Amino acid sequence: MGRSSNQIIGNERFYLINTVPTYFGIQDGYLDMQTMKYRVFGAVWKAVNDRKYILGYWFGDNQNEIHGFIKDAGFNDIISAQPTDIKEIYQIIRMEQDKENWSKRSRLNFFMVLKKPWKNLKKGWYVLKSSSNYPMTLTCIQKKRFSVWIEHIQVCENLKDTKRFLNLINSEHHIQLQTEGLDQINYKKN
C-alpha cells in the first residue's frame, strides 16, 4: 500500500523537482501500522538544507515489491541512501502519525452509551488494548454520563511506549491511570 506526503509548495517545489537529487531507502523490520506487522519499508525523499521532504513511502513483503512501488510511482534516477537515513524517514512518519492519533478525538454514537459494555460501566477513564501481544493499539476512552469519547489512540511496540502513552494521558487530563501489570503484556515480533 503506497502513501505519500507532500510538504512542498510553489517555487520550492520547482527547485526540488528539477535540481535536488532524489533519495530512496529500503529496509526490513519496520512496523506497518495498517497491518500491525513488521514488514519491509521503503521511502523516497529529497533533502534540502537539512530538511527532508518525503515524496512517498510504502510497506511490502519484500524489497522487490518496494522497488516496484517506487518505479510505478514514477521515480527514476534515484540515489540509494544509508540505513540510518531510512530509519530517520520512518521515525519522521511515525512521529506525524502519533501526533495525529493523539489529537484526534471523537464521540461514539449517542446510543452506544445505552449498550453493553458501556451501559454498565461507571463514568471514568479506560484504556483498551487491541491485543495481548506487542505491537498493539491502545485506545483511551472517557465514559461520561451520556456519552463515550475516544480521547487518544497510540500504537505501542513495547512496554516503554505503553508507559509513555499512559503518562501523557495522566499529565494532560490530570488523572492517575495505573501502570501496574503492564509488564504482563507479551511481546511478539512477526
pLDDT score of 187: 39
Q: What is the pTM of this model?
A: 0.78
CA distances from 91 to 30, 43, 159, 169, 177 (A): 10, 12, 18, 22, 27
pLDDT band, residue 180 (cuts 50/70/90): low
For the segment 42-73, what is each residue's pLDDT rounded down to a tens digit?
A: 999 998 888 899 999 999 999 999 999 999 99
Name the amino acid, one letter, at 112.
M
* Secondary structure letter of residue 144 according to DSSP: -
79 backbone dihedrals φ, ψ, rounded to 5°: -105, 130
Residues 152, 101: contact at Cβ < 8 Å? yes
For residue 63, give the C-alpha cell.
524489497
Lowest-pLDDT range of 25-29, 65-69, 113-117: 113-117
Choice between 180 and 23, residue whose per-residue pLDDT is larger = 23
pLDDT score of 100: 92
The two beta strands, 133-134 and 186-187, are parallel
pLDDT score of 19: 72
Mean pLDDT, the chain, whole residue set: 85
pLDDT score of 108: 86
pLDDT score of 11: 53
d(CA 122, CA 143): 7
d(CA 102, CA 115): 26
pLDDT score of 9: 45
